[in-house]
Amino acid sequence: MSKKRHAFVGTGGRALSFIEPLVTTYGDQNELVGICDLSPARMAYYNELLVRDLGYHAVPAYTADRFDDMLREQKPDEVFVCTKDSMHHDYIVRALHAGCDVITEKPMTTDAAKCRAILDAQKATGRRVRVAFNYRWAPFRSKVKELIESGVVGKIHSVNLEYLLDTNHGADYFRRWHAHIENSGTLLVHKSTHHFDLVNWWLDAIPQQVFAYGDLVFYGKQNAVNRGDEKLTRYARYTGSPEAKDDPFCLDLTESESFRKLYLAGEADSGYLRDQNVFRDGITVPDQMSLNVRYRTGQVLTYSLVCYSPREGMRVTFNGDRGRIEYHEFIGTHMNRAVSPKNWKIEEKPGAEAEGEWIRVFPHFKSSYVVEMPEIRAAHGGADVILNEHFYGPPAPPDALGRTAGHEQGAASIAIGIAAVQSISSNLPVNISDLVTINPDAMKLSQLV
């Protein structure tokens, strides 16, 4: 039996968590036939890892201007897109028209026009697009879905989701390209797409209208100066700046092989600086956001994201007509260090103690109870391992929880963030149907691809 042929575009830190299982655990059914990136240095490091650490072989490497050459010469069955968010649409559309299926890292893309381009290309080609929403696949979050569908607290009418990004993980977005709206669409698109997708999926509902607020209150030069931290603004980047030695926000790219070979070595050919000062001028995304979403089914989400918290995690509450479910997830802090999945770990940082995960059900007129679940200490709440099996394993029966997300469900997630960005700018509610058409006849998310 011939192996399924995969190609990757984007060889930054995230791609390794998908490439390693592809060529090791699932190598009997799959093969990696090409990689593509702006930086030859980054691709050289990936080929080094493939040969030295993963027992594979080097694969053809194509610079970004030769993406179409890779598709023509290597003939992949599926292309995995792990580039900067603002470029997802370009590679997705080109891969679809070349006859390939696509898996894309979240978010599917960053604005309404790019989303429409993907939906049009999928319709024209009939090829498959999947979005790597790993949050759905974590066991605790899947258990929440099971509880809701069981009707244990009746019909859910409202959800409150508070997410805290800490000064380790959260700050890291402000060192990188994510801090510019033209690259990430803001963290309401890049990061919150996880949370919006979870709620859409938990409720089996399609968002209809959004109203949002957002401000930059912590990161950026002026905010640091205003609270008396001007000394933290005096260097453009952390690596190679002696005065940054005692800065708690310092990220030194000489501290690990992955940082040195992916980012320091890749600066000359990509222009990408991985360790910019989080208290610099020019940041264009908010670090504090809140919004409300109304769904086609009438349910309501109240959401907040704070990016400068001393701790990391989320609280989610579901209010049903027969009770309430509370989901609490504080499993410690981490950041993307471009390491092998087996080397992923929670980082020890002051104030970032892990309290674990729990789910408690509060039925009307009865005592509350905790839903027993095993402790999980793995990347993304244990989701990555399950998601990779879904992507690369043998064909399986349809998933009873509907965790696979296609292009329409991907659009339903990013549409909330895109609408929120517009609402912040206009100070008005935004109808999602004014931005992108998502099957107007559907009421449930499960009716979308």
Judge whether 301 and 158 are in contact, CB under 8 Å. Answer: yes
3-state secondary structure of 346: coil
pLDDT of residue 341: 78
- pLDDT at residue 386 is higher than 80: yes
Q: How confident is the model at residue 351 (pLDDT cuts 50, 70, 90)?
A: low
Q: How confident is the model at residue 18 (pLDDT cuts 50, 70, 90)?
A: very high
pLDDT of residue 252: 97
Range of the domain at 232: 221-270
Separation between Cα atoms, residue 218 and residue 229, nearest integer Å:
11
Residue 173 covered by a domain: yes
Q: Do 355 and 239 share a structural domain?
A: no
Question: What is this structure's pTM?
Answer: 0.96
- pLDDT at residue 151 is higher than 70: yes
Mean pLDDT computed over 63-75: 98
Residue 275 covered by a domain: no
pLDDT of residue 250: 97
Q: Sort 116 into a burial class: Cβ within 10 Å, 0-12 / 13-18 / 19+.
A: middle
Q: Sort 44 into a burial class: Cβ within 10 Å, 0-12 / 13-18 / 19+.
A: middle
Among the ranges given (310-314, 347-351, 415-419, 442-446), the one the predictor scored with the smallest mean pLDDT: 347-351
pLDDT of residue 340: 79
Asked which of 89, 108, 133 is the last residue of a domain, the reply is 133
Q: Do 423 and 359 share a structural domain?
A: yes
- pLDDT at residue 86 is higher than 70: yes
pLDDT of residue 377: 66
User: pLDDT tens digits for 293-348?
Assistant: 999 999 999 999 999 999 999 999 999 999 999 999 998 888 888 787 777 777 87
H or E element that contains 145: helix 139-150
Strands 129-132 and 356-363, by their bridges, are unpaired
Q: Do 233 and 193 share a structural domain?
A: no
Residue 144 covered by a domain: yes
Tokens read off for 243: 């005065």
pLDDT of residue 378: 59
Q: Sort 321 into a burial class: Cβ within 10 Å, 0-12 / 13-18 / 19+.
A: exposed
Residue 174 covered by a domain: yes
Q: Do 371 and 240 share a structural domain?
A: no
Q: pLDDT exceeding 90 applies to what percent of the chain? A: 91
Residue 260 covered by a domain: yes
Number of domains in the chain: 3
pLDDT of residue 347: 80
- pLDDT at residue 379 is higher than 70: no
Q: How confident is the model at residue 352 (pLDDT cuts 50, 70, 90)?
A: low
Judge whether 38 and 27 are in contact, CB under 8 Å. Answer: no
Mean pLDDT computed over 394-401: 92
Judge whether 118 and 129 are in contact, CB under 8 Å. Answer: yes
Average pLDDT, the chain: 95
Asked which of 117, 133, 149 is the last residue of a domain, the reply is 133
- pLDDT at residue 448 is higher than 70: yes
pLDDT of residue 212: 99
CATH of the domain at 92: 3.40.50.720
Mean pLDDT computed over 225-231: 98
User: pLDDT tens digits for 260-299?
Assistant: 999 999 999 999 999 999 999 999 999 999 999 999 999 9
The pairs formed by 329-334 with CB atoms below 8 angstroms and a separation of 24 or more are: 329/140, 329/357, 329/381, 330/354, 330/355, 330/356, 330/357, 331/355, 331/356, 331/357, 331/377, 331/381, 333/166, 333/168, 333/169, 334/168, 334/169
3-state secondary structure of 105: strand
Phi/psi of residue 55, each to 5°? 65, 30
